């Protein structure tokens, strides 16, 4: 019986662990729990929580929108999912001949494209859109403080898990 208790404890962390730990996801609980999936994003904690039928099955550190680009709180639904999405606004201008980045961190609404270049949108893999153009997505830079242009950045391995179990139409609740 002790073995079963130890096994259950390792598969399903306690609620206290969920708030203290960094990133974790329980695939078995996500697959076996009945009920609808949902995501809660806590902007104060800079964490995202994945639930299945009211049961917490995963937690990820995030980086939300920085000043001037704040991620809006509210109740939303997943509008779309795209595995290999690229931004249509933020990215780089790249030389057509050499493939080298001529200008990085561009905003296509503000920065003119130099002659001889093309626009390459920033990668937003495992994109889960939930509020206009705002969504959760993988990023190599997740500093645990607001640093994005409004989207919710996640470590790649966690974005992959959330993406795998997310469904179009499921609730996403963003709060402080």
Q: How far apart are CA 119 and CA 97, in angstroms?
A: 13
* Residue 31: φ, ψ to 5°: -80, -35
Query: Catalytic residue at 126?
Result: no
Measured CA to CA in angstroms, residue 149 lies from 17, 18, 39, 42, 87 at distances of 30, 27, 20, 17, 11
Of the listed 85, 126, 151, 173, which one is catalytic? 151
Measured CA to CA in angstroms, residue 15 lies from 9, 21, 55, 85 at distances of 11, 10, 10, 33
- What pairing do the DSSP bridges indicate for beta strands 80-95 and 24-25? unpaired
Q: How far apart are CA 19 and CA 68, in angstroms?
A: 28
Of the listed 85, 137, 149, 173, which one is catalytic? 137
Q: How far apart are CA 85 and CA 9, in angstroms?
A: 37
Active site positions, annotated: 137, 151
């Amino acid at each position: 019986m002790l073995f079963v208790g130890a096994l259950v404890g390792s598969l399903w962390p306690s609620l206290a662990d969920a708030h203290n730990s960094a990133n974790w996801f329980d695939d078995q609980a996500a697959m076996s729990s009945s009920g609808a999936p949902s995501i809660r994003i806590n902007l104060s904690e800079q964490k995202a929580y994945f639930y299945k039928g009211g049961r917490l099955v995963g937690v990820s550190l995030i980086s939300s929108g920085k000043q001037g680009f704040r991620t809006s709180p509210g109740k939303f639904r997943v509008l779309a999912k795209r595995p290999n999405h690229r931004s249509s606004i933020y990215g780089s201008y790249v030389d057509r001949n050499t493939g080298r980045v001529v200008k990085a961190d561009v905003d296509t609404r503000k920065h003119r494209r130099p002659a001889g270049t093309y626009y390459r949108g920033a990668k937003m893999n495992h994109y889960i859109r939930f509020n206009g153009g705002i969504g959760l997505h993988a990023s190599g830079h997740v500093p645990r403080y607001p640093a994005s242009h409004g989207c919710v950045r996640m470590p790649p391995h966690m974005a992959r898990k959330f993406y795998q179990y997310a469904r179009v139409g499921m609730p996403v609740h963003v709060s402080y």
